[in-house]
Structure formats: structure tokens, C-alpha cells
Amino acid sequence: MTLPRVGFIGLGVMGKPMAKNLIKAGYPLTVWRHINPTPVNELVSSGAREASSLKQLAEMSDIVITMLPDSAEVEEVILGANGVLKGAKRGLIIIDMSSISPLSAQRIAAEAEKAGVEMLDAPVSGGEPAAIQGTLTTMVGGKEETFNKCLDVLKVMGKTITRVGNTGTGQVAKLSNQIIVALNIAAVSEAFVLGSKAGVDPKVLYNAIRTGLAGSNVLDAKISKIAERNFKPGFRIKLHHKDLKNALEAARDLSVPLPLTSLVQQVLAALINDGKGDDDHSAIVNFSEHLAGVEVRS
């Protein structure tokens, strides 16, 4: 069976290992040199081809995957004057795996459809470790027929893949995920700051509560980073702030109040103002630590 040709745009912390997994699985991969040439050179040395432009990347691909920071960047590379649609043939499929606004996803898909191009919004969760291991959780919006065509490609990068509904619903699911993660990290932060102020070792506190109702994947994944003061980014604070912004904008359009989400977004904004925007979102703990005058440290 001949595998479809895949173009990949956005070779950052998440995108580069996702693209590597496609190469390992045998997919003919084309990448585009944008801001940082280093990941492009690395992937080319692993067997990828390099396109000189987005137009050429589209011409060389059956499926184009984007993994970019936010709505504006995705709209620019797909809809821009020199974007993907300029080189797209009818039947091309775009899979946007970025975390963007649901309305933006719907707008891009509508423009793509005019050019005979199909689109899925397929944001992911799991961070850099899952991107490397190919075990991402993928939430997909779009037509079922298009989803079925792309399922094998998505399975290379993810373990749990769910079609949520029509265009934009993948982004709604991702925003829901990001609300829960952000509020969970904030709750873990406050609880462990309380424990540290009382003199309880954070690893002992973790073992005491992790198998009870307070246990969670977030607690398991983040407490070691917090206790070891390792805030190397797996998912940056500034990107989580962006996701909550998109969640609040979607909530406003749907007349849904999100008071706790709004509060945590302000915490993230304060941390960004304090120069911590590129830290891992486990550094949310720094906000509570500063207020209490204590560090959560083993």
C-alpha cells in the first residue's frame, strides 16, 4: 500500500517529534524552513524533503499537518497570500493539530472547502513526552469521511483518537481539556504550598493523597517537576494562557460564564509579566509560593 505524502508545518517542541514519528512509520514527509532551520535540517537528515515555500509544500503533499502556536499563525500559513491553499489541489486534506479558536477553525475550513480542500481540526494533549512516544490524545472535529481517511496517520502520532463532531468541536474539546488542566495545576499548587508551609515533605504528601479522590494525571505528572524545581517547558505558561484566552472568547460567544478559568488566566498573566512565560505550566506554583513566602521543594 502506498502511503500518502505528508507535509508538516510547525516543528517546535511538539511538532518535531510528531514529524519524526511519521518518518519512522514510513510516510514520505515534506517540511518547510520557517523561523528556525535546526529542526528542518534534523528532519531532512532523517529522510524528509524540504519545500522552498508553503505553495510547494502543498503541491508535494496529499495531507498537510499544521502544529502552530495560535489562530493567527494557522490562518496565515493556510489562507495567506503565499499559503497552503495557493498550491493545494482538490482533495488535499489539511489536519490542523494546533490549539486555536473554534471559530477560527470553522473559518479556515470554510475557505478550504471553497478550494476543494478538506480539513480536520485535531488538537492534541499529552505534552512533549507523549509527542515523542506517539501516544498523544487527539480530539478531532470534521467530517466523518475525512476523519476515516486520516485515521492511520493520526494513529502514528496518538494513542487515543476521538472524533468529537463537526468542524470546530475538536478545538472545543481541547479548550475543555485545557481548562481542567490549568485549574488542576492551580489546585495542586495551593494544596502543596499549604503542606510545605506546614512542614510536610511534598513527596510524602503526594504519596498520602495520590490514590484518593484528589489523585489525577496532572498531580502525577507535575508534582515531581514542582518538588525538584524543574520548570523546563513541556508546555509553556504563555501557551496555556493563550488557550484559556481562546476558551474565554468561545465562552463569551456562547454566553457561558467561566469565573474560575478567568481567575487562573489572570494568574498566568501575572507569571508572564514576571518573566515566567516560557516556563512549564507546572510553574503556576510560583504564584502561590510568592504569596505564601515558601517553596515546594523536596
Task: Give 19-57 as a DSSP string.
Answer: HHHHHHTT--EEEE--S-HHHHHHHHHTT-EEESSHHHH
Query: Domain ends where: 114, 146, 166?
Result: 166
> CB of 122 within 8 A of CB of 171?
no
Instruction: Reply yes or no on whether the pLDDT at 258 is more than 80.
Output: yes
CATH of the domain at 33: 3.40.50.720
Domain-located, residue 122: yes
Mean pLDDT of 39-58: 95
Q: What's the mean per-residue pLDDT of the chain?
A: 96
pLDDT at residue number 33: 79
CA distance 28 to 41: 16
Domain-located, residue 298: no
Give 67's pLDDT tier (boundaries 50, 70, 90). very high
Tell me the pLDDT tens digit for each residue of 146-179.
999 999 999 999 999 999 999 999 999 999 999 9
CATH of the domain at 237: 1.10.1040.10
Mean pLDDT of 271-294: 98
CA angle 221, 222, 228 (to 5 degrees): 120
- Nearest one of 247, 234, 228 to 281, comparing CA atoms: 234
CB neighbours (10 Å) of residue 103? 15
> CB of 268 within 8 A of CB of 240?
yes
Instruction: Reply yes or no on whether the pLDDT at 1 is more than 90.
Output: no
Instruction: Reply yes or no on whether the pLDDT at 35 is more than 80.
Output: no
Domain tally, the chain? 2
Catalytic one of 16, 24, 149, 174: 174
Q: Residue 72 belongs to what H/E stretch?
A: helix 71-79
Do 64 and 152 belong to one domain?
yes
Do 12 and 154 belong to one domain?
yes
Range of the domain at 143: 6-166
| C-alpha pair distances (Å), 261 with each of 10, 216, 247 | 28, 19, 8
- Nearest one of 235, 8, 5 to 99, comparing CA atoms: 235
Query: Domain ends where: 114, 136, 166?
Result: 166
pLDDT at residue number 37: 86
CB neighbours (10 Å) of residue 140? 28
Tell me the pLDDT tens digit for each residue of 94-117.
999 999 999 999 999 999 999 999
Query: Domain ends where: 117, 149, 166?
Result: 166
List, in sequence order, every beta strand (DSSP E) within 69-142.
93-96, 118-121, 124-125, 136-141
Domain-located, residue 1: no
N-to-C CA span, the chain: 53
CA distance 216 to 180: 11
Do 158 and 210 belong to one domain?
no
CB neighbours (10 Å) of residue 198? 9
Q: Which of 32-41, 156-165, 168-177, 219-228 has the lowest mean pLDDT?
A: 32-41
Catalytic residue at 174?
Answer: yes
